[in-house]
Structure 1
Amino acid sequence: MSLLERLDRFNRRHPWSHNDLYGPWAAHKVSAIGARRALDVGCGTGHLVDRLRHRVPEVTGLEPDPDTARRARERFAHTPGVTILQRGFDEEVGSGWDAITLVAVLHHLPLEPTLRALREALAPKGRLVIVGCHREEGPADLPLSLISALLNPLVGMVVQPRAVTEPPPHMRAPTAAPRESLAEIRAAVRRELPGARIRRGLFWRYTLVYDRPA
């Protein structure tokens, strides 16, 4: 068994969600503008929704996977101000949102049409917060990728010290490999979300913040 195979086996036995690392950052970016209504697209079982509900009076989560949406609805069944809808972003989601968040979701959707729809769904001065996945390409991705590969098992031992045979419920939603490189995403964002700020991050993620003009 090669070193990479051993590392992959270890990571599967000590899983942790890379997305959870960015939850506090995303919630802070939303609360920083005093949002009253927030939409979390692809909310999963509701980890980010749970953070947002303490800072935003009205939070709506969209989740296309039926089983995952059911778990989220059960989790917030008695939580005022939280609504979970089992639907995808390609369905009607309304407009006038003070904040919209997507964590590891955008790569499941057509890039430019989705960016355009997200922009139009925001209220004037509304904020879009994205934690996205990108396809690794070229030497620019290599340093953070190596650091992430080394840190991943260490964090896994802290978060999930006991070996498991399957990932926790919030990590069982359908996944997909990202199609676009970060350079391609930046180019699309320049066209659809002028002025957006994109940063390369750890654990094969990038962050994006866009404020719609008044």
Structure 2
Amino acid sequence: MALLSHLHRFNQRHPWSHNDHYGPWVADCVAASGARNVLDVGCGTGNLAALLRHRAATVTGLEPDLATARAAAERFTDDPAVTIVQANFADRDRQRHWDAITLVAVLHHLPLVPTLRELRGCLTPGGRLVVVGCYREAGPTDLLATLPAALANPVMGLAKHPARAAALPLHMTAPTTDPQETLGDIRAAAAQELPGARIHRRLFWRYALVYDAQS
């Protein structure tokens, strides 16, 4: 417990975003699909939207937190290709469909099965869904996966943020919640709602899901 407490304090002094770490991979997945119009659900301050902007014609970001949405909107004030909407996924424009949809550390905030079903329905024919998500750890396999992440985390923090931080950066201050579903639960839900989806465990307490809608 003392070691875990020490690691936590160290990580707070050298913060870095596990979510941003996967941003380039998400953008590459979107670009590989040939998507032109992309929806980023839970866009935060717009770090992923900025990457997607160079890979697609338009990017729409949904962000429910008011302060975070304002920060993202100000960031793209002069870019007509990026639209930030202060809204939940449930409040999206239901008349629109997108060539690609991205969610990074967002899906566990939403009801899993209905959301996967709705995401599938939001895609254009041949569209791609890319998810980087969080899961609830359960069992020895998850424990084994945690060990390399726990050891690598402070090393990454020191490399990315060598100076001690007085506070977390804005993009790491949006409200969060703990995931309730295990990776097994997520695999089962995806098999039901997203046939053919590829799911892989990733480092830093994340999994990746890629689903291509039928053309």
TM-score relative to the length of structure 2: 0.97
Structure 1 ranges of 4+ moved more than 4 A: none
Instruction: Trace 1:16-35 onto structure 2 (pairs within 5 A).
Output: 16-35=16-35
CA–CA distance in structure 2, aligned partners of residues 151 and 92 of structure 1: 37
Q: Give CA-to-partner distance per residue, 1:102-150, whole Å, 9 cap, x none.
A: 0000000000010000000001100000000000111111222100000
CA–CA distance in structure 1, aligned partners of residues 213 and 102 of structure 2: 14
CA–CA distance in structure 2, aligned partners of residues 89 and 113 of structure 1: 12
Amino acid in the other structure paired with 2:144: P
Amino acid in the other structure paired with 2:22: Y
CA–CA distance in structure 1, aligned partners of residues 166 and 92 of structure 2: 38
CA–CA distance in structure 1, aligned partners of residues 92 and 152 of structure 2: 40
Residues 1:137 and 2:143 aligned together: no
Q: Quick check: 1:96–1:124 contact (8 Å CA) kept in 2?
A: no
- Equivalent position SS for 2:195: coil
Amino acid in the other structure paired with 1:27: A
Residue 82 (structure 1) shift: 0.5
Residue 96 (structure 1) shift: 2.0
Residue 20 (structure 1) shift: 0.9
Corresponding position of 1:156: 157
Q: Give CA-to-partner distance per residue, 1:11-68, whole Å, 9 cap, x none.
A: 1111100001110110001011111100000000001000000010110000000000
Amino acid in the other structure paired with 1:80: P
Instruction: Trace 1:89-168 onto structure 2 (pairs within 5 A).
Output: 89-94=89-94, 95-168=96-169
User: Percent same amino acid at aligned positions?
Assistant: 61
Corresponding position of 1:85: 85
CA–CA distance in structure 2, aligned partners of residues 126 and 34 of structure 1: 9
CA–CA distance in structure 2, aligned partners of residues 162 and 15 of structure 1: 10
Corresponding position of 1:75: 75
Q: Quick check: 1:134–1:182 contact (8 Å CA) kept in 2?
A: yes
Instruction: Trace 1:33-44 onto structure 2 (pairs within 5 A).
Output: 33-44=33-44
Give the CA RMSD over aligned residues: 0.9
**Count of aligned positions:** 214
- Equivalent position SS for 1:136: coil
CA–CA distance in structure 1, aligned partners of residues 131 and 213 of structure 2: 14
Residue segments in structure 2 that go unaligned for 5+ positions in a row: none
CA–CA distance in structure 2, aligned partners of residues 155 and 96 of structure 1: 37
CA–CA distance in structure 2, aligned partners of residues 96 and 105 of structure 1: 19
- Equivalent position SS for 1:90: helix
